[in-house]
Amino acid sequence: MSDVRGSMYLVLEDGSVYPGKRLGAEGESTGEVVFNTSMTGYQEMLTDPSYGGQILVPTYPMIGNYGTSEADVESNRIQVNGFVVRDDCEEPSHPLSEGTVHDYLLKNGIPGISGVDTRAITRKLRSAGVMMGIITPDDSAEAALENLSKAPRYGEFDVVGDVSTDEMYAWNGDAGERSRAFFDLRGRARQGGMGVDVERGIGQRDLGDNYMKVVVNDYGVKLNILRSLRARGCEVIVVPDDASADDIMAHDPDGVMLSPGPGDPELLDRSVETARSLVGQLPIMGICLGHQVIARAFGASTFKLHFGHRGGNQPVKDLETGRVYVTAQNHGYAVDAESLPDELNVSHINLNDQTVEGLRHRDLPIMTIQYHSEASPGPHDSEYLFDRFVGLMQEAIGTAPEKTSVVN
């Protein structure tokens, strides 16, 4: 590393200042400051579009031990506005590592700060709630607060439009495919019948005869959602966040996936309208923001959590089976259980604060989860939900006449 890393400061809107040294690009950046409790997966977090508009603080202190790799991205760029760590590793050790976190942020032009007391920040956010903050090389807190006050406030503008795709595309696998395919499919290949092409990986695998066609409405989709669908033999088409229900149905899909994404669901009237039009036409799965959009489409309301759920250790109870799953989560808003209509049943709850973590429609093939069945980063315990979604689509096809009657 040749560049000299000078001082940087994280200034929160309550006026508290946390000094450190520069990590990544030079410059100033603002965003909502949030913490995540995962111990691994910093690169997946950095590239998760749901962090758009936010400054990310991992509570785990040592970041960068295994470097960065093309195999660990969840989108085509770093999505966070800033990165705040206790200690960054300058000599990573992992066979797949292609460089340090510092270089990675630098290359992507994202400023960060290292050597900061992240535990103090976390404690503050836990008691005072998430708040806006600014990363700056300027040692004047007054100037920083002045700049921060001029910046757009998270929750008051639509971030989804920034992170969603501009054009519709068919997804056939891309960077990071091989390493991921190995993890997902080694077991499956052994159990037989997956028809995995080892040489080319799952992404380029020819679809079988009975494949499902899924349109993913991209509010800020993670690659692993696309990989998880593809791994279950689905043809995957991704459409922009502002696609209409007609645009989506024009692809003649077997099911629709409403993806996770950043920001306040109250700002997404257009997406809610689209979801409302899709209801009853075909099976729908909503993840995270997609879950909130579906709930709103049924007239439920959402609210902002004090400091959010972000991390890979959130216990969720499946109320149908009584089993507890450890889940990956990343959300600052939640669905208000009191506001749910009778036709939506709560299928999952969070054991830490009893908030809604999943919904099932009483009659229609609609399932939603507030957490991330695609993991990455986080526990793989909930991958079964993708199987459940594929099952809903298969069922819907098997009962095509009934499906028509629902539409009418």
State the catalytic residues.
Answer: 288, 372, 374
- Selected from 5, 21, 25, 40, the binder of other proteins by CB under 8 A is 40
Q: Which stretch binds other proteins (CB under 8 A): 101-109, 210-218, 312-320, 366-374?
A: 312-320
Check residue 210 for interaction with other proteins (CB under 8 A): no
Q: How far is the CB of 87 from other proteins (least distance, A)?
A: 5
- Selected from 6, 95, 193, 401, the binder of other proteins by CB under 8 A is 95
Please, which residues have CB within 8 angstroms of residue 382's CB and are 6 or more apart in sequence? Answer: 316, 325, 327, 369, 371, 372, 373, 375
Check residue 323 for interaction with other proteins (CB under 8 A): yes
Q: How far is the CB of 393 from other proteins (least distance, A)?
A: 25
Number of separate helices (H) and strands (E) present in the chain: 12, 19
Q: Is the CB of 59 or the CB of 302 nearer to other proteins?
A: 59
Check residue 352 for interaction with other proteins (CB under 8 A): yes
Q: How far is the CB of 167 from other proteins (least distance, A)?
A: 29
Q: Which stretch binds other proteins (CB under 8 A): 202-210, 275-283, 318-326, 392-400?
A: 318-326
Q: Is the CB of 294 or the CB of 316 nearer to other proteins?
A: 316
Check residue 41 for interaction with other proteins (CB under 8 A): yes
- Give dist(CA 179, CA 181) in Å, integer: 5
- Give dist(CA 175, CA 287) in Å, integer: 23
Check residue 191 for interaction with other proteins (CB under 8 A): yes
Q: Is the CB of 64 or the CB of 283 nearer to other proteins?
A: 64
- For 145-196, strand residue ranges (E) read 169-171
Residue 377: which of 25, 106, 10, 60 has the closest Cα? 60
Check residue 380 for interaction with other proteins (CB under 8 A): yes
Q: How far is the CB of 65 from other proteins (least distance, A)?
A: 5
Q: What does DSSP assign to residue 256?
A: E
Check residue 61 for interaction with other proteins (CB under 8 A): yes
Site string for other proteins, 162-181 (x = CB under 8 A): ----------------xxx-
Amino acid at 210: N
Residue 292: which of 304, 310, 280, 306 has the closest Cα? 304
Q: Is the CB of 61 or the CB of 155 nearer to other proteins?
A: 61
Check residue 345 for interaction with other proteins (CB under 8 A): no
3-state secondary structure of 341: coil
Check residue 193 for interaction with other proteins (CB under 8 A): no
Q: Is the peptide bond before 137 cis (omega within 30 degrees of 0)?
A: no
Specify which residues 54 forms β-bridges with.
32
131-163 core/surface letters (b: 16 or more CB in 10 A; e: else):
bbbbbbeeeebeebbebbeebeebbeebbbbeb
Residue 106: which of 130, 137, 83, 75 has the closest Cα? 83
Residue ranges binding other proteins (CB under 8 A): 37-41, 43-44, 59-62, 65-66, 69, 71-72, 86-87, 93-96, 118-119, 122, 178-180, 182-183, 185-187, 189-191, 196, 198-199, 311-315, 317, 321-326, 351-352, 375-381
